[in-house]
């Protein structure tokens, strides 16, 4: 393998690592969103209570709540 191929392989592997990390972050975000959705819809918690239990910010809960309201309108 020449120098050019080695550099290309290094960039390819780096891109795979970055993609994997991005996918993991997205999965965690989706899981947290689902937990918050359940806390809001099934337990009727307010934003602060849901945020504390889910380990997220109040603003994150507000975003999830807005999305839930939009979905219920459709």
**Tokens 């309108």 appear where?**
73
Indicate the domain borders of the chain. 3-73
pLDDT at res. 59: 97
Strands (E), the chain: none
Spatial neighbors of 47 by CB under 8 A, at least 6 apart, are: 58, 61, 62, 65
Whole-angstrom distance between the N-terminal and C-terminal Cα of the chain?
A: 56
Q: From 29, 14, 38, 16, select the one nearest 60 (Cα to Cα).
A: 29
15-70 pLDDT, tens digit per residue, is 888 888 999 999 999 999 999 999 999 998 999 999 999 999 999 999 999 999 89
Of residues 49 and 3, the one with the higher pLDDT is: 49
* pTM across the whole model: 0.73
């Amino acid at each position: 393998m020449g120098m050019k191929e080695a550099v290309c392989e290094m960039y390819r592997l780096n891109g795979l690592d970055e993609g994997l990390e991005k996918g993991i972050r997205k999965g965690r975000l989706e899981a947290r969103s689902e937990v918050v959705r359940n806390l809001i819809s099934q337990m009727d918690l307010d934003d602060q209570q849901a945020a504390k239990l889910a380990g997220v910010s109040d603003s994150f809960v507000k975003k999830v709540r807005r999305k839930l309201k939009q979905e219920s309108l459709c």
